[in-house]
Structure 1
Amino acid sequence: MQRIKFRSEPRPSPANVQEPDRSRVVIRTLLIIAAAAAVGYAFSHSYDFFEALHDFSRHHESWELDEIFGTAVIMTVVLLVVAIWRVVQLRREIAAKEMAQREAQRLARHDVLTGLPNRRRLFEIFDSHVITAQEAGRRVAVLVIDLDRFKPVNDLHGHQMGDEVLCVVAERLTRLAEGRGVVARFGGDEFAALLEYQDGTDELLRLVHKIVHEMALPIRAQGISMRIGASVGVAVYPDDGTEANVLLRNADIAMYHVKAEERGSFHFFKAGMDSALLERIELEQQMDEALGKREIVPYLQPVVDLKTGGIVGFEMLARWLHPQKGVLLPDRFIAMAEDSGKLTPMTLTLLEQAMEASVGWPSSFTLSINLAPVQLLDPALPSQLLDILARAGFAPHRLEVELTETALVERMDEVKAVLEALRKAGIRVALDDFGTGYSGLYHLRELHLDTLKIDRSFIAGMLESEDRQAIVEAVLHLSQALGIDTTAEGIEELALGEKLAELGCQLGQGFYYSEPLPLEAVDDLIGRNRLVRASA
């Protein structure tokens, strides 16, 4: 099977060397030396010349011409040696200049950190690689590879560690693309690849799967192991474009779709995706202003005691009250906030707003907030949360942070350190969406969790499915044995709540009790709940 042969970088031609004056000096000096040598040679073979010179010197002895001629000969030799030395020196300078220009051209086309080709170089070689692939009966695809959790590495550990991570990523991608194409770095945490594959086979699909898998493996730098992950967008020549800039743009659009839907995966470009990309870019640009104007606000969903039906607390959920697009749910903007480093400031701002609304709550009410894996790597988070609680007079034990199972398999040691600091401060820790990820008994034992939240996928249809009910019962028995509270998510009918209470589940939430509400509607809900309980 033929493979694309990638040409080496072109050597700059002498015409590009910007030293015409020095070149002319060298040529002129060499010509003078040659002429002088020729004249000297001619004179040395002319008897009449030396005879005339002897007669002239004898008739003008008072002039001491013998000394003058001797000096002249010595000076000529010295000048000849100096001229030769200068010629050698100029040749070295010109060679150094040529080498510097070649290095400048290489740097202009390659990333300084990783040594990979840059965007400019990828554009230069695109056409020739496509032609070579077509001649070999193969096709070409363009991939855009964007790292998912790279920004926290720089923020928390410094740029030196970030550089080490980028070099490891470059090495992995280069190894995967070897013999199939070329990998480039566009800057920051974005890479691209120009790959060839055999049409009519799953070669490209398998290669993309390998890239996603390799990027998900832990990267170790400066003694710390971390999972970065990557989202990959793919555009195929000529279906998705025939020019490099079009293919890269479409691969970029596909990559943003991965970011919005399920990071750590890949997506092939499809027509119509660009409208979604434009919307994402627009929302990213509007996010800071939306936070300042309080367009991104907390909504609260009540958590109830399944035995009494009374409200015992709330879970805080983000909503974007967009002036043109209406109410946007978290899946439209949370990933963008995380990618741009704005998630923690957003979470703290929403918590402050929720604290303002909690002034009139009973002192037993709790508040739950969701934290992304990247936030659990920030050692400053516990003190930031405690500062907000202290200013609002909200006791730390009334706050519960919810983490997903994904966070437990990514840099476990660092997550444990942050959770331990939260627990020492009195803040409770809950494991959200239990049963949908990678949790095991090890995590439950090591993290000393306060609450397990059973995922709605097990709760829905539990009354009709014996298997789902058996899973829920097993989780409840496990949590009871470990002394962990349980909260059932997604309760949408009374019978479900009653069955869960019968099985021993303490708390629940779902649309049967209430949908998430804006802050101004919470006090009214609390009042109505009290009346219902009083009349029961």
Structure 2
Amino acid sequence: MRNRFAIRDLGLLLAAVLVAAYLVFELRVLMDADTDTFEEQSFALHEVLVFSTVLSVGLLLFAWRRYAALKREVARRVAAEQTARQLAYQDPLTGLANRRQFEEALRQAAGSPPAAGHVHAVLLLDLNGFKQINDTYGHGAGDEVLIVVAQRLLRDVRENDLVARLGGDEFIVLARHLLGPDDAASIALRIIQGLSEPVAAGTVRHQVGAGIGVALLPDDASTADEAIRKADLALYRAKAERRSTFRFFEEDMDRLMRERDRIERDLRQALEESRIQPRFRPSIDLKSGRIVGFEAVPSWRTATEEEIPPERFLPIAEETGLGHRIAADILKASCEAAACWPQEVALSIDILPSQLKDQDLSASILRTLDDAGFAPERLEVDVSENLVVQDLNAAKRTLAPLRAAGVRIALDNFGTGYSNLYHMQEFGIDKVKIDRRFVENMVEDDAARMVRALAGLGHGLGLSVSADGIPEDAAGHLLLASGIREGQPQSGLVSAAEASGMVAGSRDRFAYGETR
């Protein structure tokens, strides 16, 4: 760059010198015209003509060079502007439109409504299993998969449809002037079909699917931002099915998502204000009626005294990363409450799905027990059978240190997770808790036979067997007849103070056996 400017400056200097020399020379000729002879004047005139010609040619060459340099500079700037525009509007990996280009096109589409009976459709896609490809085979393989997916999307949509990559494994399609929802569904089905064929990346063929959320303009939204938001809500519903499928936006989705957002914000505030406290569900000896333990259940009572059930707020807590904090707070408060119970009364807590992936879980629980002075032998952790079936090895790694420290492990919701003898033997459990759906229907023969079979399996493996959700006396007698000695009544939760009072007067209160 510096050399180019130096050459240009030298060219300007040379042109200036030539012009100055010509002017000086011509001035000399004019001044000497009266004293020179005819021959001398003729020679001087010839010199002027030659010098003028050389100067003219030099100036023409200089002008041509300046013109060529200017033309090159303009071409360079045009190319730079095109490159900048390309970088601003195109995804560098896949060559598709990027978010900026898509949003501009969508704003134009929203501002130009289709003809009566027609719609514009926004289809938001998220790939299934892409994170696993990146984690297992590296980002290079992931990039290859994204490139192939982009090519298939361009192949499967209509010629004038706009396909963009928003980032990561998220793509979006704008299909203008469709005849109606059926046309949008056809495009979504073609995309799903196109992605059903495995994608080759390196030497491995990857199975890639997609969840698709669809929003229609002007039926569902009138602005670009609203259309993307509602397509995202529909995608959320599609991804919940954990398979390749598509879902249209529905008004209920918007209402439920706003409700979910409100609960999340209130939940964070409730944690700061310590409004989530444990309540306790008793476990009883069915024959004597003696309380042998309590299960701690997270309970949320709002500032307006509204009771929010755990099944409503715990899934949201799990999704937002608040599950660990809730579980830790509940365990700490429960240990403090259980400190005044008799030594033979145990405390049980549930393990949330996200906790099972935490390698530091056992150490964290044991630290809490040590800080509270609560013996590990008095604690029982309940793990849902479904979680164990999904990842047996993770469950074993996470909970093995607890069992080694004396904490008892119970398999919760037994009978619903399709566990087998191998799972039960390898996992190393101490108790199974038969799911309440079987127990509640024990007056029916099929349910009673299932409970007896599950109880027999547990006893045969040398495990304690408990029943969850005992509805009435008759069910209690049937459980005793099946060899089950422990269970949880289908009664309400109680506070820590009420739990202490129940321990003192529990005998015979819940008895189903001969002592009652």
Per the normalisation by structure 2, the TM-score is 0.71
Match among 456, 472, 475 for residue 454 of structure 2: 475
SS in 2 for 1:303: strand
Rate the CA distance shift 1:425–1:202 in 2: closer, same or farther, 3 A: farther
Structure 2 residue 72 is matched with structure 1 residue 93 = no
SS in 2 for 1:509: strand
Alignment of 1:198-217 (within 5 A): 204=185
Match among 352, 355, 376 for residue 396 of structure 1: 376
Give the distance between the partners of 2:380 and 2:341, measured in 1 at CA: 16
Aligned partner of 1:493 in structure 2 is: 472
Where in structure 2 are there 5+ consecutive unaligned residues?
Answer: 1-7, 16-38
Give the distance between the partners of 1:300 and 1:308, measured in 2 at CA: 20
SS in 2 for 1:98: helix
Give the distance between the partners of 2:130 and 2:332, measured in 1 at CA: 28
Deviation at 1:209, TM superposition (A): 13
Rate the CA distance shift 1:532–1:496 in 2: closer, same or farther, 3 A: closer
Deviation at 1:367, TM superposition (A): 1.7
Relative to structure 2, which stretch is displaced further, 117-126 or 489-498? 117-126
Give the distance between the partners of 1:358 and 1:454, measured in 2 at CA: 25
Alignment of 1:39-54 (within 5 A): none
Tell whether the 8 Å contact from 1:113 to 1:167 is kept in structure 2 after alignment: no
Relative to structure 2, which stretch is displaced further, 352-361 or 409-418? 409-418
Aligned partner of 1:520 in structure 2 is: 497
- Letter in structure 2 aligned against 1:524: G
- Letter in structure 1 aligned against 2:424: L
Rate the CA distance shift 1:208–1:451 in 2: closer, same or farther, 3 A: farther
Give the distance between the partners of 1:289 and 1:153, measured in 2 at CA: 37
Give the distance between the partners of 1:355 and 1:326, measured in 2 at CA: 26
Match among 452, 455, 458 for residue 432 of structure 2: 452
Tell whether the 8 Å contact from 1:451 to 1:487 is kept in structure 2 after alignment: yes
Deviation at 1:354, TM superposition (A): 1.0
Tell whether the 8 Å contact from 2:110 to 2:224 is kept in structure 1 after alignment: no
1:424-458 CA-to-partner distances (Å, cap 9, x unmatched) read 33322222212223423332122112222211111
Rate the CA distance shift 1:506–1:205 in 2: closer, same or farther, 3 A: farther
Give the distance between the partners of 2:190 and 2:384, measured in 1 at CA: 24
Relative to structure 2, which stretch is displaced further, 385-394 or 91-100? 91-100
Structure 2 residue 407 is matched with structure 1 residue 427 = yes
Give the distance between the partners of 1:391 and 1:171, measured in 2 at CA: 55
Match among 405, 415, 421 for residue 395 of structure 2: 415
Give the distance between the partners of 1:190 and 1:365, measured in 2 at CA: 52
- Letter in structure 2 aligned against 1:101: A
Deviation at 1:349, TM superposition (A): 0.9
Structure 2 residue 261 is matched with structure 1 residue 281 = yes
Tell whether the 8 Å contact from 1:230 to 1:263 is kept in structure 2 after alignment: no
Structure 2 residue 304 is matched with structure 1 residue 304 = no
Alignment of 1:324-403 (within 5 A): 324=304, 326-403=306-383
Deviation at 1:351, TM superposition (A): 1.1
Aligned residue pair count: 467
Rate the CA distance shift 1:249–1:292 in 2: closer, same or farther, 3 A: same
Deviation at 1:387, TM superposition (A): 1.0
- Letter in structure 1 aligned against 2:505: R
SS in 2 for 1:307: coil
- Letter in structure 1 aligned against 2:500: D
Give the distance between the partners of 1:382 and 1:277, measured in 2 at CA: 34
Rate the CA distance shift 1:86–1:205 in 2: closer, same or farther, 3 A: closer
Give the distance between the partners of 1:162 and 1:475, measured in 2 at CA: 46
Per the normalisation by structure 1, the TM-score is 0.68
- Letter in structure 2 aligned against 1:507: E
1:346-379 CA-to-partner distances (Å, cap 9, x unmatched) read 1101111111111101112222222222211111
Match among 281, 297, 301 for residue 321 of structure 1: 301
Tell whether the 8 Å contact from 1:166 to 1:189 is kept in structure 2 after alignment: no
